[in-house]
Chain A
Amino acid sequence: MNGYTVGENGTNSGMTEQHQFQLFEESLRKVNKLVFQMLINEIIPLSMSVERKLEKSNDEEVSSNMSKLDVNEDSNTTNLLKDIVPSNQLIHDLLDTKDEDKYNKVIDRVRNIGFQVGNKLSELLIFTNNPNLQFKDMDILLIMKFVCRDVWKQLYGKQIDNLKTNHRGTFYLFDYDYPPIREFCIEENALKKELKLVEPFLEFPVGIIKGVLASLGYPPEQVICLATFVDRPNNDIPDTSFAKGISFHIQITTQNNQ
């Protein structure tokens, strides 16, 4: 296993190009980071809520088909909230579900959303002429560096902390301070159950990684990606962060793609 430092600037490109790219990035339209965070926080409860509603409507369809008649085009929006379940409740319900099939369906939904984000995001990054990207001779290692550096930077404002590979299609991406879960509340001696609650939230970035790889020639059936919690190598991460780091284990199952 070799370790790579991901943090260095692209050695092939001059500083002016980097600078220009940065200026370009700054000129793009922005939104508040908080709304993005709030939106991705809702992906898990949303996916669970969908699952519950699909189950319910399957049950109802058996009993009657009459409900289709009520046309919901009026302006009374309070009605839309009649069956709302608080998001934190939905997350706990997902953890407590005994039905493995149901759990997997929810997780698949989360991964799919991530996959679409990753797929489109890599298009977006390529269109912006990032000087870090030379697609002529883009091998899998360069693609992984692209994920670690550009994709992560765009999504989370930081890079992956460490990238390791055996040069045979296995990669480990370590993020010791994964931003979307920084504010998640886990008690100091992280209990197993509580880490389990956070696990579904790691499926979104898993989907993203698979989506990026798919857009660059590695279809999802050839890629295995798993996220697990890891301890941090040292204690230099500020104490205002989540207690664990994340390891993304990526395995490319078919060599010599294309």
Chain B
Amino acid sequence: MSRQQSINSSQTAASATAQSPLSRSFKATGEDVWKRTEKINAELFTLTYGAIVSQLCTDYGRDFTKINEQLFQMGYSIGVRLIEDFLARTALPRCQDMQETSEALSKCAFKVFLNITPRVTNWSSTKDTFSLIIDENPLSDFVELPMDAMEQLWYSNVLCGVLKGALEMVQLDCDVFFVSDILRGDQQTELRVKLNKVLKDEIPIGED
């Protein structure tokens, strides 16, 4: 594929010394864009999100299934809008497979918006499902959950919604969900992204 080669060659030129040219490029883009955006204190963000979750707990009388759903929907509404800003800022080319998508999410998207780079791991054998391990989660810093919430609440579920909405806008139909969370007493916070299908009919004409 000639197009593929031309993309790769331009990126190799920019990062001749790196082991993986593409991943180096995501990293550089993410860091560069992060530097050039306006920022606020992470703690302010944390406590605002905390206030929203705690209000939902009051409203839904600790029906955590409903809270998870509400957070997911809020995330989705954010994601479908945030993706346009993300693409305008980064101008990332379309990812050729989920491996590239995972790198773009971790090194670019999470970096640009939350200043973290989750680890990508736990690939399925079909290479269409992976996990993001979030070590430092700015949504849940210093948060402790009561016992009943620990069993059912996905505190940071807004992230799943954001990814769901954003990926859908670039024609990737995915399921995005948490499988574990430090807040629940788990070893790590693991977010799973599973590709259902590429919405080929919706990819804008003219990309290839």
A residues 12-61 near B (Cβ < 8 Å) are 25, 28-36, 38-40, 42-43, 45-47, 49-50, 53-54
Contacting residues, chain B, for A36 (C-beta < 8 A): 40, 44-45, 48
A238 interface residue per 8 A CB criterion: no
Nearest-neighbour CB distance to chain A for B23, whole angstroms, equals: 22
A residues 145-170 near B (Cβ < 8 Å) are 154-155, 157
Docked pose: A117 CA to B47 CA in angstroms: 6
Contacting residues, chain A, for B65 (C-beta < 8 A): 72
Q: Which of B70, B160, B192 contacts A46 (CB 8 A)?
A: B70
Docked pose: A46 CA to B49 CA in angstroms: 12
A66 interface residue per 8 A CB criterion: no
Contact A77 B115 (CB under 8 A): no
Nearest-neighbour CB distance to chain A for B166, whole angstroms, equals: 12
B66 interface residue per 8 A CB criterion: yes
Interface SS, B side: helix
Q: Which of A46, A76, A157 contacts B40 (CB 8 A)?
A: A157
Contact B59 A54 (CB under 8 A): yes
Known: A76-B175, A77-B72, A113-B55. A33 touches B114 (CB 8 A): no
Contact B47 A84 (CB under 8 A): no
Q: Spot the interface stretch: B14-22, B74-82, B180-188.
A: B74-82
Contact B55 A109 (CB under 8 A): yes
Of B41, B54, B78, most buried by chain A (CB within 10 Å of CB) is: B41
B37 interface residue per 8 A CB criterion: yes
Docked pose: A54 CA to B49 CA in angstroms: 21
Count of A interface residues, CB-CB < 8 Å: 44
Docked pose: A112 CA to B49 CA in angstroms: 13
Contact B40 A39 (CB under 8 A): no
Contact A80 B72 (CB under 8 A): yes
Docked pose: A86 CA to B74 CA in angstroms: 10
Contact A42 B82 (CB under 8 A): no
B202 interface residue per 8 A CB criterion: no
B130 interface residue per 8 A CB criterion: no
Nearest-neighbour CB distance to chain A for B36, whole angstroms, equals: 11
A182 interface residue per 8 A CB criterion: no
Contact B82 A121 (CB under 8 A): no
A124 interface residue per 8 A CB criterion: yes
Contacting residues, chain B, for A222 (C-beta < 8 A): none
Contact A34 B51 (CB under 8 A): no
Known: A34-B85, A77-B176. A155 touches B44 (CB 8 A): yes
Q: Which of A46, A75, A112 contacts B194 (CB 8 A)?
A: A75
Known: A75-B192, A75-B194, A124-B47. A32 touches B76 (CB 8 A): no
Contacting residues, chain A, for B112 (C-beta < 8 A): 32
Contact B69 A80 (CB under 8 A): yes
Nearest-neighbour CB distance to chain B for A205, whole angstroms, equals: 12
Nearest-neighbour CB distance to chain A for B40, whole angstroms, equals: 5
Closest residue of A by beta carbon distance from B47: A120
Known: A39-B49, A72-B65, A77-B176. A28 touches B42 (CB 8 A): yes
Docked pose: A75 CA to B43 CA in angstroms: 31
Nearest-neighbour CB distance to chain B for A122, whole angstroms, equals: 11
Contact B41 A30 (CB under 8 A): yes
Contact A28 B43 (CB under 8 A): yes
Q: Which of A29, A38, A77, A155 contacts B138 (CB 8 A)?
A: A29
A65 interface residue per 8 A CB criterion: no
Chain A interface residues (CB < 8 Å from chain B): 25, 28-36, 38-40, 42-43, 45-47, 49-50, 53-54, 72, 75-78, 80-81, 84, 86-87, 109, 112-114, 116-117, 120-121, 124, 154-155, 157
Q: List 5 A-B contacts (CB under 8 A).
A: A39-B78, A46-B52, A50-B59, A50-B60, A84-B73
Chain B interface residues (CB < 8 Å from chain A): 34, 37-45, 47-52, 54-56, 58-60, 65-66, 68-70, 72-74, 76-78, 81-82, 85, 112-115, 138, 160-161, 164, 173, 175-177, 192, 194
13 additional contacts, CB 8 Å, given A45-B77, A50-B56?
A31-B113, A33-B38, A34-B37, A35-B82, A36-B48, A39-B45, A42-B74, A77-B72, A77-B177, A80-B161, A114-B51, A117-B48, A124-B44
